[in-house]
């Protein structure tokens, strides 16, 4: 496993790091406090062409490299998990098109995602079908050259603000996985019969828009179906193979941000006449935090490189990266709070927010338990 960033990737990493520290970091506490979606961060990403990172140059993108994208997500997540999620979800919403779109669909829809002129979302989960997406109940019925979608989706990141939403629905209700199809909704917020209710009261990523979507006979042109009828579940699983390392990169950034802050605090905080960094108990905690974060980074970068190499092993290692990075983020941020003691428990210091933000990485894009199922099934099947 030898993953080294090339000159372009190193330049992008350093540029994003500067943007995150100088422009986003001063806003983070207010984003978390208010719970309002940070449109100023969207504008910042547009200005610096960061939305172009997930997309290939032929559609207005900068690279299309998963490794390049995930390095950028990591850097943003070091200071703000909410802002990192905006970039990750722009990629997530574009992946179905890149994987299964026709040349016409890609040429028509991807350029606006690459510039950030339009934001995207990915609508798979439902109230009764989270870890079991094949059990979804949202329906799409064919009528001549159109489909009529009826049902609901839950926990959809950017669902209440996205212009372009990929929606998965049953075209054959008598089947499970083979009955699912995928559709792209354009100008989604203004479609007749479409409604998005923002979910409030979240533990973390409070500035991210999370919504419940309702479809009351929403009409979608048949030309906006991705692939054939029944291809939806296969597309969804391929998308998750690509998107899970992005969430892992978010978790990795959260962990690194918490570790960096804890190390700085330990150097300055004095107890019993000396810095707490001089106590072996604190040193052991910091050493474990560093080892866990470094291991997670190696796996996240490796899974990302496998995506770029179009390796058949992507699904397996994407699940490992997601599992390892998410669990690391939770452990490292919890330890960071412990190192800060009482100060870690109040929002004047960032580690309590980081701990709250870390938790969701163990849940979305497949829970840590689902990642273990994927990993074990791969091993036992082979």
pLDDT tens for the chain, residues 1 to 382: 557 899 999 999 999 999 999 999 999 999 999 999 999 999 999 999 999 999 999 999 998 999 999 999 999 999 999 999 999 999 999 999 999 999 999 999 999 999 999 999 999 999 988 888 888 999 999 999 999 999 999 999 999 999 999 999 999 999 999 999 999 999 999 999 999 999 999 999 999 999 999 999 999 999 999 999 999 999 999 999 999 999 999 999 999 999 999 999 999 999 999 999 999 999 999 999 999 999 999 999 999 999 999 999 999 999 999 999 999 999 999 999 999 999 999 999 999 999 999 999 999 999 999 999 999 999 999 7
Same fold for the pair 7-115 and 233-381: no
Domain 7-115 architecture: Orthogonal Bundle (1.10)
Domain 120-230 top-level CATH class: mainly beta
**Enzyme catalytic residues:** 365
Domain boundaries, the chain: 7-115, 120-230, 233-381
Domain 233-381 grouped into CATH 3.40.630.30? no
Give the C-alpha separation, 30 to 37, whole Å. Answer: 11
Q: How far is CA 157 from CA 85, 122, 148, 250, 325, in A?
A: 9, 7, 23, 14, 20
Q: How far is CA 184 from the centre of its chain?
A: 19
Q: Residue 265 corresponds to which tokens in the numbers above?
A: 């605090």
């Amino acid at each position: 496993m030898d993953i080294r960033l090339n000159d372009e990737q190193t330049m992008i990493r350093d540029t994003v790091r500067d943007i995150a520290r100088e422009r986003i970091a001063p806003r983070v506490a207010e984003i978390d406090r208010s719970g309002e979606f940070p449109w100023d961060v969207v504008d910042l990403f547009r200005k610096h062409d960061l939305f172009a990172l997930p997309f290939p140059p032929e559609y207005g993108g900068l690279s299309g490299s998963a490794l390049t994208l995930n390095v950028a997500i990591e850097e943003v997540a070091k200071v703000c998990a909410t802002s990192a999620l905006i970039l990750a979800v722009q990629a997530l919403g574009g992946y179905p098109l890149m994987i299964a779109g026709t040349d016409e669909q890609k040429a028509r829809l991807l350029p606006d995602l690459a510039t950030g002129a339009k934001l995207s979302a990915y609508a798979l989960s439902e109230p009764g079908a989270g870890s079991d997406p094949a059990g979804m109940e949202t329906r799409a019925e064919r009528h001549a050259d159109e489909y009529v979608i009826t049902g609901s989706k839950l926990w959809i990141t950017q669902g209440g603000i996205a212009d372009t939403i990929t929606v998965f629905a049953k075209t054959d209700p008598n089947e499970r996985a083979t009955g699912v199809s995928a559709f792209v909704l354009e100008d989604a917020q203004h479609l007749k019969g479409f409604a998005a209710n923002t979910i409030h009261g979240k533990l973390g990523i409070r500035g991210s828009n999370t919504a419940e979507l309702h479809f009351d006979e929403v009409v979608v042109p048949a030309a906006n179906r991705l692939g054939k009828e029944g291809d939806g579940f296969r597309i969804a699983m391929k998308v998750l193979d690509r998107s899970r390392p992005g969430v892992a990169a978010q978790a990795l950034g959260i962990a690194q941000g918490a570790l960096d802050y804890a190390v700085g605090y330990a150097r300055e905080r004095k107890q019993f006449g000396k810095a707490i960094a001089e106590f072996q108990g604190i040193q052991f905690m910091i050493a474990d935090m560093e080892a866990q974060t470094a291991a997670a980074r190696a796996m996240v970068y490796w899974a990302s490189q496998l995506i770029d190499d179009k390796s058949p092993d992507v699904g397996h290692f994407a699940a490992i990266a997601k599992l390892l990075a998410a669990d690391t983020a939770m452990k490292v941020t919890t330890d960071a709070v412990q190192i800060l003691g009482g100060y870690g428990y109040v929002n004047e210091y960032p580690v309590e927010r980081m701990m709250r933000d870390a938790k969701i990485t163990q849940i979305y894009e497949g829970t840590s338990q689902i990642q273990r199922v994927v990993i074990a099934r791969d091993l036992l099947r082979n």
